[in-house]
Amino acid sequence: MSSTLSVLIPRGDIEYAVARLGRQIGIDYSGCDLVAVGILKGSFIFMADLVRQIGLPLEIDFVTVSSYGSGTKSPGNISVLHDLRVDVRDKDVLVIEDIVDSGHTISYVMKHIAEKGARSVRLCTLADKPSRRETPVHIDYLGFTVPNKFVVGYGLDFDNKFRYLPDICALENHD
């Protein structure tokens, strides 16, 4: 069976949301010692566009966590494959994520970073899928709320494919 894609959020709307988020984050973190931490691989496109919009001097780092494997449902076990290299002690950390789904992964990452002594840890996510939430998550900066569909594009993937799409699309017939 072949997959079909339908555009949920076009690139123009994404660009507008990224600019809006960047302006607000720039205001909120003015004068702070900010570290932007992207969760790889999904956040890399969003993060690159976002940090250019923030307009403040900041450090950048990444973490890589595994929670999905090659399917569309999270097995629930989370492991850190690549940890922070920047010392976040007494710094303000903005975690940048592609999508918050069940909440398990981002909750784990936020706690993991807080335990490293960050002054503050806030979350910016491109997309939120609250219909799938199993673990409570506070989102400080949100691009879009998406329906309970499997979404790809603008960094979001299915089995490491479709990240390149400039729009956020619903992937149908993917099983």
| Positions marked catalytic | 101
Q: Using an 8 Å Cβ cutoff, are 6 and 64 in contact?
A: no
Q: Using an 8 Å Cβ cutoff, are 131 and 147 in contact?
A: yes
| Strands, sheet with 120-128, edge to edge from the N-terminal-most edge strand | 79-82, 59-66, 34-40, 92-100, 120-128, 141-145
Distance CA 143, CA 153 (A): 14
Distance CA 73, CA 15 (A): 28
Distance CA 145, CA 28 (A): 22
Q: Using an 8 Å Cβ cutoff, are 154 and 170 in contact?
A: no
